[in-house]
Structure 1
């Protein structure tokens, strides 16, 4: 059984780690990948999606360019974490893949409208494209099976003391999304700061195949975590959750988004159930970390060198 999926992303090195699984695991029926400004500019994130689709010989994948800035607040990237290009460290060569002419929201709408079955949305960047889709085509809600997001935190931020980067980048969009009627699963820093690819796993990854070498070339330029402590695979968690939800501990909570002031971008959970009589989000709180590491290595080990356009390491 396959999962029809639209994947909204801002590559980014951990996004690349996720897209590697997305494009090589046959369980994922990838209907569309959309880019958004986040870790780097939308021109760069779009180009990075094209690089990965080229690397894995996935010319069949539709790729659409999305929002170049948040709905309200000024755009600020995370190139200090992901490098100037978003995916430094590996030369993907001349790119053969092309994006489609439709922009992301129109492309999403077309896929949803024409699908005979409901689609799973996965968002691992700022939620600007998703918010615009809900505003422009509210009727598409009924075609969305669920939304799985990497974003938010119950226990503190990685951009400010309270805000996680994806939500902070466009809190107004996040507010629209979380206040919609979507079935949302939030996989935030409470889990992803635990879901580290360990130093042992990274050593093994390098020995697996050409894809392992490509990923390690990127990870060597990833300024989140450390080689000793491990590197957080934030965005990969969305796909691991879809395949193995039993590896996560979740709690249903109401999540509010702060859109101004010193706590802008915070995801505030009604943990005591004192201000809301219902919930709007399935919130991931814990993960089986050893199983995550073993699963990711297995995913990469299964990728045949014969099926990729192997590039070359940068000096």
Structure 2
């Protein structure tokens, strides 16, 4: 099993990613942390607890994270994810609460007690992990790598150049990319290709209670592309389990923190300023058929865990 810390802002595609991570036998979630992003941190925390309850995985600790970016004003994406972040399905009553400690303190504790360096997966803005780097530099050696959903080398989804997670807190993203910790950047270059077709989403509805739940969330999802709906954050979990689905290239990536290009991730593709240094393994292509097939195969496994399963 791969032990991970999973930092999220659910959000519909986060919820789909978490549904797989909570039930896949190859992943061991040591800590779930929330952050403000798709909706407020109060709502993203509740959504994490909804999903751990739904899948009967309440032993997984949840910690509430940052309520706002490091410097800029917080603006959510409820126009995409709905007011709650996870609309369309009536979840069972939450049976647990978040930890009394904040996300950064909880991350530090898990890392300090880990027998070997751990992977941190982040599918929202990177505020929590930037604060972890700033406040606990002694634990940097305990982080094996970051697997990040975010960024783009080919254009943005909230501006002509910026992807939402980076744009939400570019100052935090800049800290993470300059940290020296290995990074896998899974951005719009692949997530806008990793579509679930509408036929697949409809078919999911009939694969047990987990499929029913996911179908209702995904049909409420306001993000769509010709050919289907992109499940951006699911790619982080898919990459952990199936890196062979992805084509990657090593680059030095800088983050623009202000001005009209704020949130842009700029790779030195021509080695003009990085002097051959790299700080990120950037996903640039994906086997889309393998991704969709893999996704469908996860749902029967989920049904073994969820509330209401027969």
TM-score, normalization by structure 2: 0.98
Equivalent in the alignment of 1:177: 176
Matches within 5 A, 1:26-45: 26-45=25-44
Of 266, 273, 278, the residue aligned with 2:271 is: 273
Deviations along 1:183-227, whole A, 9 cap, x unmatched? 00000000000000112221221111110110111111100005x
State the shift of 1:97 in Å.
2.1
| 1:36-55 superposed Cα distances (whole Å, 9 cap, x missing partner) | 00000000000000000000
In the alignment of these two chains, the number of paired residues is 308
Q: Kindly state the Cα deviation for residue 24 of structure 1 after the two structures are TM-superposed.
A: 0.2
Consecutive aligned runs of 4 or more in structure 1 exceeding 6 Å deviation: none
Q: CA RMSD in A?
A: 1.1
- Deviations along 1:56-76, whole A, 9 cap, x unmatched? 001110100000000000000
* Secondary structure of 1:90 counterpart: coil
Cα pair 1:8 1:34 within 8 Å, conserved: yes
- Note the 1:89-108 alignment, pairs <5 A: 89-108=88-107
Question: Are 1:210 and 1:310, in contact at CA under 8 Å, matched by a contact in 2?
Answer: yes
Instruction: State the alpha-carbon separation in 2 of the partners of residues 83 and 159 from structure 1.
Output: 17
TM-score, length of structure 1 as denominator length: 0.96
Unaligned runs of 5+ in 1: none
1:293 equivalent in alignment to 2:292: yes
For 2:30 and 2:158, the matched residues in 1 are separated by 32
CA distance in 2 between partners of 1:52 and 1:97 (Å): 11
User: Which of residues 257, 262, 273 in structure 1 aligns to 2:255?
Assistant: 257
- Indicate if the aligned counterparts of 1:51 and 1:97 stay in contact, CA closer than 8 A: no
Find the aligned partners of 2:217 and 2:86 in 1 and give their Cα distance. Answer: 6
Distance 2:256 2:117 in 1: 30
Secondary structure of the corresponding residue to residue 92 of structure 2: coil
Aligned to 1:198: 197
Give 2:151's aligned residue: 152
